[in-house]
Amino acid sequence: MYSITLKRPPWRALASALCLALAANGACAFDFADVAQRAKVLSQSAYEKPATNLPKTIKNLNYDQYRDIRFDTEKSLWHSAKLPFEVAFFHQGLFYDHPVKINEIVANKASQVKFDPASFNYGKNEIDKKQLQELGFAGFRIHYPLNAEKYKDEVMVFLGASYFRALGKAQLYGMSARGLAVDTGLNTGEEFPQFSEFWLERPQPGDKELTIYALLNSARLTGAYRFVLKPGAETAVDVKAQLYLRGPVTTLGIAPLTSMFFFGENQRAEVDDYRPEVHDSDGLSVHTGADEWIWRPLVNPKRLLVTSFALDGPRGFGLMQRDRAYANYQDLEARYEKRPSVWIEPKGKWGKGRVELVQLPTPDETNDNAVAYWVPEAAPKPGQPYDFEYRMLWQKDGETQPPLARVTQTRRGHGYTRKVDDSVALIVEFEGQALKKLPADAKLEGVVTVDANGKLLETNTYRNEATGGWRMAVRMHRNDLAKAVELRGFLRNGDDTLSETWSYILPPN
């Protein structure tokens, strides 16, 4: 991670500010520098909470009534021009109670996309459209022929605070990403920055990528963002950002990912549910600067659980959905096996910091309860520009994996035992080509360590003839049930490490 101070001559700063002011009227060129300048200027003034302009007829709509408002896709941006990308818009209402300004860039010049209530079908709602003329949009979604040449699928959406989601081929929406996470999991409360304005660059015929600029604003910071969307089998989103802090931030979360884990093979359901597993992601994968691969299975804790991995120069991290078998979910509607994994690849030198994982309890599958992001060790100073870039990969088939054997399952519980005790048993399954190539008489060792709150009782490692992989069976005792215990393990053959590191947190009871 690095910070750059842009030194511009006074005349150039003045010209940039003038150009920014004229850009909305299409009077001059527009690019990332203009958004960055706007973020800088905005950071130098006191924060103003976004104003709401919703009339009561919209404000009082319930969930089902709001969902009855639908955008007319025939009026999508660029639809009549038959360009490869199209943009549809979301109406304000429900949780989305303030307008987001949206602009179009044509020939390097920006102009506002005007809200028109005639572009929406209000269903059974009795709405006086005269009250909505100046309402504004809540967000937008991008369409592109991802799965078939003649049909434009929804591939990316920006809606609510700084949240956005994307899809690759044959995927269904699952986890979300955010522009930034601020003080997530702290007792002082989380701050949710908002994308207050967007600029969409008009594509050319035959274009296979789309550029979006965004202005971020919140009580303690502002930011300029550029997203380059590249739909495909794994959809890539290249992100460039420049932040300006108004005041100190305790935890600055870069490239945040937000997902849901209700229950899975490592944690049985506490409700009467026919489904074996329910989750959008089943683990956090981390590739360290030292070339170690770490896998931390997700849990649904009974209270807030915050853990992290201190790193120098991370090579990547992501919340992953490794389990792709329908039989392990049995949900014909949700189809969790089709939810994307999202992998973050830093660009440039991010330096020292930590990948932090925040997990919260959830009583059902409607709440996202897992958040992962990068926290730089050296926090940016207020007033100084702070730059970072990364690539996001929205994956399903062929997702990012360690070159060594990887963890495919973590199961908790004892099998047949003659004596009942208070020990904890964990079964860890490893698979990979390197394991399948081992000779029949190979003798692998499961190397397991437990922190000070636990005592390792036994470890057994043996071949899994059903999968061609290897199983590591661990039994341990937890000293204090009110405290978490951390375990780490990997497979070794002599001096050779054959697997990624399994890093498991057993949350407090």
Report how far residue 420's alpha carbon sits from residue 447's, in angstroms, rounded to the nearest whole number.
26
Residues 279-290: tens digit of each pLDDT: 999 999 999 999
For residue 419, what pLDDT is reported? 73
Residue 10 has pLDDT above 70, yes or no: no
Residue 20 has pLDDT above 90, yes or no: no
Q: What is the 3-state secondary structure (H, E, C) of 346-388?
A: EECCCCEEEEEEEECCCCCCCCCCEEEEEEECCCCCCCCCEEE
For residue 110, what pLDDT is reported? 94
pLDDT band at 417 (very low <50, low <70, confident <90, very high): confident
Residue 412 has pLDDT above 50, yes or no: yes
pLDDT (average), residues 456-462: 97
On whether the CB atoms of residues 157 and 138 are closer than 8 A, the answer is no
CA angle 131, 133, 135 (to 5 degrees): 85
Cα atoms found within 13 Å of the Cα of residue 234, Cβ hemisphere only: 16
Distance (Å) of CA 389 to CA 7, 137, 193, 274: 20, 28, 18, 43
pTM check: above 0.85: yes
Kindly state the tokens that stand for 150. Answer: 């003649």
Kindly state the tokens that stand for 165. Answer: 């989601």
The full DSSP string for 166-180 is E--TT-----EEES-
Kindly state the tokens that stand for 373. Answer: 């992001």
Amino acid, res. 35: V
Q: In the predicted model, what is the mean pLDDT of the chain?
A: 93
Residue 125 has pLDDT above 60, yes or no: yes
Residues 212-257: tens digit of each pLDDT: 999 999 999 999 999 999 999 999 999 999 999 999 999 999 999 9
**Residue 509 contacts by C-beta under 8 Å, 6 or more apart in sequence?**
302, 481, 482
* Sign of the alpha-carbon torsion through 36, 42, 47, 52: negative
Residue 9 has pLDDT above 50, yes or no: no
**Residue 220 contacts by C-beta under 8 Å, 6 or more apart in sequence?**
47, 182, 191, 245, 246, 247, 248, 249
Could you tell me which residue, 287 or 9, shows the higher pLDDT? 287
pLDDT band at 18 (very low <50, low <70, confident <90, very high): very low
Report how far residue 406's alpha carbon sits from residue 321's, in angstroms, rounded to the nearest whole number.
13
For residue 418, what pLDDT is reported? 67
**Residue 67 contacts by C-beta under 8 Å, 6 or more apart in sequence?**
none
The helix/strand/coil state of 14 is helix
Residue 258 has pLDDT above 50, yes or no: yes
Report how far residue 19's alpha carbon sits from residue 29's, in angstroms, rounded to the nearest whole number.
8
Q: Is 151 exposed, middle or buried (0-12, 13-18, 19+ CB in 10 A)?
A: exposed
On whether the CB atoms of residues 322 and 432 are closer than 8 A, the answer is no
pLDDT (average), residues 361-390: 96
Distance (Å) of CA 344 to CA 121, 282, 315, 359, 431: 38, 16, 9, 19, 23
Q: How far is CA 429 from the centre of its chain?
A: 26
Residue 425 has pLDDT above 70, yes or no: yes
pLDDT band at 276 (very low <50, low <70, confident <90, very high): very high
Q: What is the DSSP letter of 181?
A: E
Residues 74-114: tens digit of each pLDDT: 999 999 999 999 999 999 999 999 999 999 999 989 999 99
Report how far residue 105's alpha carbon sits from residue 25's, in angstroms, rounded to the nearest whole number.
11
Residue 415 has pLDDT above 90, yes or no: no
Percent of the chain with pLDDT over 90: 89
For residue 29, what pLDDT is reported? 67
Residues 298-324: tens digit of each pLDDT: 999 999 999 999 999 999 999 999 999
pLDDT band at 28 (very low <50, low <70, confident <90, very high): low
Backbone angles phi, psi at 370, to 5 degrees: -135, 130
Pairing assessment for the beta strands 293-297 and 283-287 based on DSSP bridges: antiparallel
Q: What is the 3-state secondary structure (H, E, C) of 447-474?
A: EEEECCCEEEEEEEEEEECCCCEEEEEE
